[in-house]
Chains A and B, each alone.
Chain A
Amino acid sequence: MSLALIRLDDRLIHGQVVVGWGQPLNVGFIVLVDDEVRNSAWEQDLYRMGVPANIEVVFASIAEAERQLSGWEQDARVGILLAGDIDTMAALAATGQVKRVNIGGVHHRAGRSERLRYVYLTDEEAAKLLSLASNGIEVTAQDVPTARAVPIREFL
């Protein structure tokens, strides 16, 4: 198997990931890529609370994730990789090992405008995502598996 979902979601591990995607994909592990969480045992405990015991949670820094991506792709279990911000996702994509990016949730904050109900971006952030697509990565927005995967060119 491999990483079935490489997801950009500012909530990181939450219900849509664990239940919405985790159940139908029969996920065996979740990789959370975030430098701050990687260095905080307290934050890691918070995120583990939302995950059933049969799913392994791996906390990785961006540098660790860049090194381990190919290993996770070859894991016998089904995995989900989560990044909470666009720069982290762009860093992973720069390894050349990311073929598809799922935008699962980037929410409103000052300076961002609505692109989809669950996707708010500044113009600079939109340009970064378009750059990923221009480099051959399939970028779609889809919050839950039962929704349609919306190609990036439809909303940017």
Chain B
Amino acid sequence: MSEPLRGVVVSHAALAEALVSAVRTISGVDGVLEAVSNEGCDPDALAARIDTALGTGPAVLFVDLPGGSCLTSALRLSRGRSAVAIVTGVNLAMLLDFVFHRDLTPAEAARRAAQAGGNAIRTPGAPAAPAAPAA
């Protein structure tokens, strides 16, 4: 990729803004992520907000839930745009990984982000799950 990826975080209420702020505080990286809230938007208005935030370069859309208004607007907007990929279930861990690994295609970055985000979901201190019965 000649142009580093940008990330757009799309969420309900103020979650996206808080995540972007947290990434900036922890990583010191600024200007890579943009926050978009669905607050006060119908689907068309939300799509317009996302479109403005995306710009014209390659990007990954990080969406909070795997369904609902944020995802539907993101999917409508990204339809037919190969330079845009989508990840749902956005969390801080995946965004922190993303800002340091932007020299990828959008699809590669989306897969990597999903992996990083998933790896961060753990249950420290919880009893180990019982072993699966032998086949």
State whether these chains interact.
Answer: yes
A51 touches B67 (CB 8 A): yes
A11 touches B40 (CB 8 A): no
Given A15-B12, A46-B75, A10 and B65 contact (CB-CB distance below 8 Å): no
A50 touches B45 (CB 8 A): no
Q: How many Å lie between the Cα of A18 and that of B68 in the bound state?
A: 9
Q: How many Å lie between the Cα of A15 and that of B73 in the bound state?
A: 13
Determine the interface band of chain B, counting residues with CB < 8 A from chain A: 10 to 19
Which A residues are CB-close (under 8 A) to B4?
none
Per-residue CB contact flags for chain A residues 12-39 toward chain B (1 = under 8 Å, else 0) read 0111001000000000000000000000
A14 touches B68 (CB 8 A): yes
Q: Is B118 an interface residue (CB 8 A)?
A: no
Give the residue of A18, A46, A51, A107 whose beta carbon is less than 8 angstroms from that of B41. Answer: A107
Q: Is B89 an interface residue (CB 8 A)?
A: no
Count of A interface residues, CB-CB < 8 Å:
19
Q: Is B71 an interface residue (CB 8 A)?
A: yes
Given A15-B12, A46-B75, A10 and B42 contact (CB-CB distance below 8 Å): yes
Which A residues are CB-close (under 8 A) to B44?
109
Within 8 A of B (CB), among A48-74: 48-51
B43 touches A49 (CB 8 A): no
Which B residues are CB-close (under 8 A) to A117?
40
Q: How many Å lie between the Cα of A13 and that of B69 in the bound state?
A: 7
Which B residues are CB-close (under 8 A) to A49?
66-67, 71-72
Closest residue of chain A to B88, judged by CB? A49
Given A46-B75, A107-B45, A109-B45, A14 and B69 contact (CB-CB distance below 8 Å): yes
Within 8 A of B (CB), among A89-131: 105-109, 117-118
Which A residues are CB-close (under 8 A) to B101?
none
Q: Is B111 an interface residue (CB 8 A)?
A: no
Give the residue of A50, A105, A109 whose beta carbon is less than 8 angstroms from that of B65. Answer: A50
B69 touches A15 (CB 8 A): yes
Which A residues are CB-close (under 8 A) to B66?
49-50
Give the residue of A47, A107, A118 whose beta carbon is less than 8 angstroms from that of B72. Answer: A47
Q: What are 10 A-B residue pairs whose CB atoms fall within 8 Å in the complex?
A: A11-B42, A11-B43, A11-B69, A18-B68, A50-B71, A50-B72, A106-B42, A107-B41, A108-B40, A109-B42
Q: Interface of A with B (CB < 8 Å)? A: 10-11, 13-15, 18, 46-51, 105-109, 117-118
- Return the 10 tightest CB-CB contacts between A and B, nearest first: A50-B67, A107-B42, A14-B69, A49-B67, A10-B42, A50-B68, A14-B68, A11-B69, A15-B68, A46-B72
